Structure formats: structure tokens, C-alpha cells
Amino acid sequence: MSYFRSCSRSFILQQTDYLADDERIDALLNAAPETAMALLPAGPLSSTSNLSLAPAEKSAPVALLLDFFLGGLGVHRFYLGTEVLTGVGYILTCGGIFGIVPLIDFVMLIINFDDISPYIDNPRFFMWA
Amino acid sequence: MPKKILLAVFFILPVCLKSQQNNCISVSQETQVLSKGVKSTFRCDIYYNKDKDAITTHHTYPSEYITLSNRFGEMKLYYPKDNTVEIYQNQSFSTTNDLLYYFVNNRLTDLGLEKEGFRLVKTDNEAGMIVTLWQAPVSLRVIEKVKVVFKDMVPVYSEYISKAGLIIKKIYYSRYSDFDFFKIPTRITEISFNTSSDSTIRLSVFSNVRVSDKPEGDYFDFKIPENARITK
């Protein structure tokens, strides 16, 4: 078993170009013993969604605290995930239109305390709009 | 004025009719997975209805079951042997995330990366191949960048790079088959780096690609029996 492990690994490390070496892949697969027990599901064709694309978990209390103390700088928005331009917008509008936007953010975070997912990775300046 | 309308119809109608064609694509898939020194084989037939963005997959080996998925992320697993069904709802199950969707709909420039929030940051030409580099959105915990390489206007290679700068996955697309409105690779090789000393190779070979205007066969419009018992 360890032979196949190291074999498949060394093959990958030697692959330097962008084109598959089909013969070597076939040889590796043909040499491996077949198991009757399925190890992995076949599934659909691989796509980007097959990788870990799930949004990172964010904590509502942390977002609230950051909004309360550093909301004028949009720090809570960066914690939740947003574009750099959102932060620029906060600074250019004197702390998010003189603190009004972070205040509304604060209220919306309290209202939606149990599910803040709409605000995670939200690129809009007004995350609740 | 009527002349103008007739002329417009003359030009628009063929386009509309053309777009209605080749909406049903079916393909047989055999996947071999080499992991921890042993190989597993899976076989299935995939039926894609382009009109509805619906995919029915009839898994035939090692066990028989049927999956039905749509663009809204609803997926049903039907086990004919037990007459049971499992229902799942998750956007990652959407048919618009399936690679087949991107190839059949000629959306090859980013292979769905843009929809996932990736941003194109660099384009290079290396030995006649176009190399594009995509920056992952901040939300991704694992992936930092994705490299996609094109040869003859079709993707031949993609590479997923972790936040630590390590390649965690390589995918090779090869042996393209040409159809009227799209090209599809008949061989996709995925190499995933599990640990520093092990990797998984997954080879998917596609054959028997059929393209038609109308659904042919039972599986394009497969209906789960009404008396099937829901288990999940």
C-alpha cells in the first residue's frame, strides 16, 4: 500500500507541465488492486463548489462588539468579509455617513443575531440593503 | 414597416430555433479513484436537460441509485431497490455548479470561478498557452488562488493553491470532443494532495456522448415513484 502512496506522490511532483501524462496515470491505476468497497462516491463532475467554498463561520457577538467600538472605521465589515472599497467608503463618509451606517448595522446585527449569514462576505456598502 | 418586421423575423427566427436545438446531452462516465493504494471504480450515465438546467444521474456501479438535481440546489437520491428517496437542499448541489454545465454552455473562460467570487488578477502567455490566475474571495478558508491554463481556447489544466502557498489540487482536462455548439473533455484527471505523503488520483473518462433536440430515453424526465418512502 505504501508503494502506491509514494508512487502516486512522486508522479505528481515530477509533473512540471500543464498537460496530463495519460500513460503514467493509466499505468498507476492499472497496477493498483481494485477494492470491492467503494472508498469515495463518484459524484458529479468536479467543479469549484467541490472544494471548501463554504463561508467562514463568523460570530455575531464579535461582529457586534467590533461594530460598537470600531464601527466608524468599518472594522466589523472587514471581520464579516467585504470589499476594500467598503472601508474606503466608511472613511470618506466620516465613519459611514457620520456613524449612521454602523449604527444601522448594529441594529440589524441584533435583529438577525441568530443568522448573520446575509452579512457575511457582503460586498455592498449598505450590508442590509 | 412590414418589410422591416419581416426582415427582423427572418434574422431572429433562425437564431431562436437554433437555440432550441441540442438541449439534451447524455454521457456515460467511468471514474477510477486511487486512494491509499487501492482503486475503486464507479460508473454512471448522466442526462443533462439544458432547457431546465436539470441533471439526472443514473449510477450503475458499484450500486444502483439515481440522483436528480436542479439549478436551485435541490437534490434527490432515489434507491430503486428499496424504493426510498433522500432529499437535500444546498446551493452547492446546484446544476449550475456542475462542470458539465460550464462545458455544455460554453462558459469556459472561468469555469465558474467568477460566480464563486474569484477575481482574475493575472494573465500570461506561456509556450502558446494562456495562463490565468484567480484570487479567491476572503470567505474561502482553504484556497488562496486558482490557476487555469488554456490551450486552443479550452481549459487544459487548473491548479488550486492553499493559503500556505501549497498546491492542494491539480485537474487536467484532455481529449476534447467537438460538438456543434460546445467542446467537452472526455478525460478529466484530478490529483488531490491529502497530506504531505499521500495523494488521491481520480480519473473520469466520458464516453458515448449523445446530443439531441428532444429527450431520448427514460432518464431525461425521470420521475421518482409517488409511493417512494422519504428517509431523509
ipTM: 0.76
Strand, coil or helix: what is B24? Answer: strand
Mean pLDDT of the B133-162 span: 90
Partner residue opposite B31 with nearest CB, options A2, A26, A42: A42
Mean pLDDT of the A16-20 span: 77
Confidence of residue A36 (pLDDT cuts 50, 70, 90): low
User: Letter for the amino acid at B83?
Assistant: N
pLDDT at residue B205, rounded to an integer: 94
pLDDT digits (tens, 9 = 90+) for B107-146: 888 888 888 889 999 999 988 899 999 999 887 777 899 9
Q: Which residue would you say has higher pLDDT here, B30 or A48?
A: B30
Domains of chain B and CATH, by start = 22-230 (2.50.20.10)
Q: Say which residues have a Cβ less than 8 Å from residue A101's Cβ, sequence separation at least 6.
A: A90, A93, A125, A126
- B204, B30 in Cβ contact below 8 A? yes
pLDDT at residue B106, rounded to an integer: 86
Closest-CA residue of A relative to B57 is: A44
Per domain, the residue ranges of chain A are: 2-36, 60-119
How far is it, in rounded angstroms, from Cα B203 to Cα B146? 20
C-alpha cell read off for B23: 438541449
CB atoms within 10 A of CB B177: 14
Confidence of residue A11 (pLDDT cuts 50, 70, 90): very low
pLDDT digits (tens, 9 = 90+) for B45-68: 999 988 888 999 999 988 899 999
Q: For cell 473562460, what's the residue?
A: B109
pTM over 0.80, yes/no: no
How far is it, in rounded angstroms, from Cα A64 to Cα A79? 10
Residues of A in contact with B55 (CB under 8 A): 44
Residues of B in contact with A42 (CB under 8 A): 29, 31, 42-44, 59
How far is it, in rounded angstroms, from Cα B231 to Cα B83? 10
CB atoms within 10 A of CB A12: 14
pLDDT for residue B14 is more than 70: no
How far is it, in rounded angstroms, from Cα A95 to Cα A107? 16
Residues of A in contact with B31 (CB under 8 A): 42
Q: Say which residues have a Cβ less than 8 Å from residue A125's Cβ, sequence separation at least 6.
A: A85, A86, A89, A101
Q: Which residue would you say has higher pLDDT here, B15 or A127?
A: A127
Q: Which residue would you say has higher pLDDT here, A16 or B111?
A: B111
* Mean predicted lDDT score pLDDT of chain A: 74
What is the percent of chain B where pLDDT is above 90? 47
Shortest distance between the Cα of B11 and any Cα of chain A, in A, equals 37
